[in-house]
Amino acid sequence: FFLRWSFALVAHPGLRDPPSGALVDGVLSQAVKELIKESKKSLEERENACVDPTLAIPMIRKGCTPSGEGADSKRRAETVPEEANYEVVPVEAYGLAMLRGMGWKPGEGIGRIFNQVVKPRVNSLRPKGLGLGANLTEAQDLTPTGPSRMPRPDEQGKDKEDQPQGLVPGGAVMVLSGPHRGFYGKVEGLDPDNVRAMVRLAVGSQMVTVSEYCLRPVSQQEFDKKALDLRQQNRTASLRKTLRNQELHIQQDNSERKRKHLPDRQNGPAAKIEKAAPRSQHWLHRDLRVRFVDKMYKGGQYYNTKMIIEDVLSPDTCVCQTDEGRVLEGLREDMLETLVPKAEGDRVMVVLGPQAGRVGHLLSRDRARSQALVQLPRENQVVELHYDAVCQYTGPSDTDED
């Protein structure tokens, strides 16, 4: 983009102001379209390229002198191929051409003593963009499977809405994984080289780039029915949150019962506290880095976005700022979720329980149990907390010593 803008400055010296947002989006969209066009053109040229089935690359025979001098010089000139011969051989035909140059012929046996026909092993190519550790069955599940018979004319109109169109521009899809999991959208464009698709989400009309292996083609009927219906998703998230709070209540009661029969270990180097406190206790605090989890707010535009709490207006209301600098006012506590950093040693704050408000350092975390091990320097104590009871802290370093 900046290279294009530099060319524009040379052609039009009067353009000295930085480009506006609309101009940036237009140039980026045009650049993506040109890249997709070039990629499709190269793929078509590769598919339409004809490979000579009798193409052979002769091998250098023994006794040929590199300098071309002596009795074998003529023989060397006839057998050694030139560099231009290698350049015209396609990459996919290079192996068979070398075998033909060594005397191999299809259907004839090889070997001097035990001459037999050996079937060559042909490795199946992996789809583009699929990593070495990925599962091919997931990619195969995306291939449409349906009846092979041709539909009758009276069935074509009905089946057109019931059957998915596939991963084509204008087709309806659902995101299977990633930050936009569960969202529906329409395919705006495809990038064959990187196996990615540009999808415009139905909620919020946001343009996102998603791997083709994370998309499931859906019918137009399913898209019209479920694309904008996020109430069921919110009800599911609310139910999951309620069950988690109930589980935390039970774990807290069990922990209190055990403490009545165990000796006091608060003075020890690594004391465990309860896993989490109920969510009835408010946890908002300035300088906390949180995650936005409300899909209904402004059409899901900020869903799964990380932001920092700039100010707390009330125990359950705050003002947040995104990484891009956008300020969101009047956000409720139930719209946000605590965020546990990935790197060990990052500063965190205990937001629930008897240690609420204390700042410490993250030692480790257990994703399977949703537990984090935190060291509190002031108390010289190591505690194990639930993800709901700890959050990443970005405030001043002397907060813990106040």
Per-residue pLDDT for the chain (402 aa), expressed as one digit of tens each?
445 555 454 455 544 555 555 566 677 777 777 877 887 777 777 666 666 777 777 776 555 555 555 555 555 545 555 665 666 677 777 788 888 888 888 777 777 777 788 777 776 666 666 666 666 666 556 555 555 455 555 555 555 556 777 788 888 998 888 777 888 889 988 887 778 888 888 877 778 888 888 888 998 888 888 776 654 455 445 545 555 555 555 555 555 544 444 444 444 444 444 444 444 678 899 999 999 988 888 877 888 889 999 988 888 899 999 888 888 888 888 889 999 988 888 899 999 888 888 888 888 888 888 888 888 877 778 888 888 889 999 887 654 444
Architecture of domain 163-226: Roll (2.30)
Report the sign of the C-alpha dihedral through residues 207, 213, 217, 223, in that order.
Answer: negative
Amino acid at 258: K
| Whether 385 contacts 374, CB under 8 Å | yes
pLDDT at residue 402, rounded to an integer:
47
Enclosing H/E stretch for 320: strand 317-322
- Tokens 């359950």 appear where? 316
| Whether 358 contacts 378, CB under 8 Å | yes
**What pTM does this model have?**
0.40
Q: Do domains 163-226 and 268-401 have the same CATH topology?
A: yes
Q: How far apart are CA 365 and CA 386, in angstroms?
A: 10
pLDDT at residue 393, rounded to an integer:
92
Provide the token pair at 369. 């149990």
pLDDT at residue 376, rounded to an integer:
85
Provide the token pair at 110. 């090889």
| Whether 271 contacts 385, CB under 8 Å | no
pLDDT at residue 289, rounded to an integer:
92
| Whether 203 contacts 295, CB under 8 Å | yes
pLDDT at residue 391, rounded to an integer:
92
Taking the domains of the chain in order of start, what are their residue ranges?
2-48, 163-226, 268-401
Architecture of domain 268-401: Roll (2.30)
Dihedrals phi, psi of 63, to nearest 5 degrees = 90, 0
Dihedrals phi, psi of 251, to nearest 5 degrees = -65, -35
Q: How far apart are CA 355 and CA 276, in angstroms?
A: 11
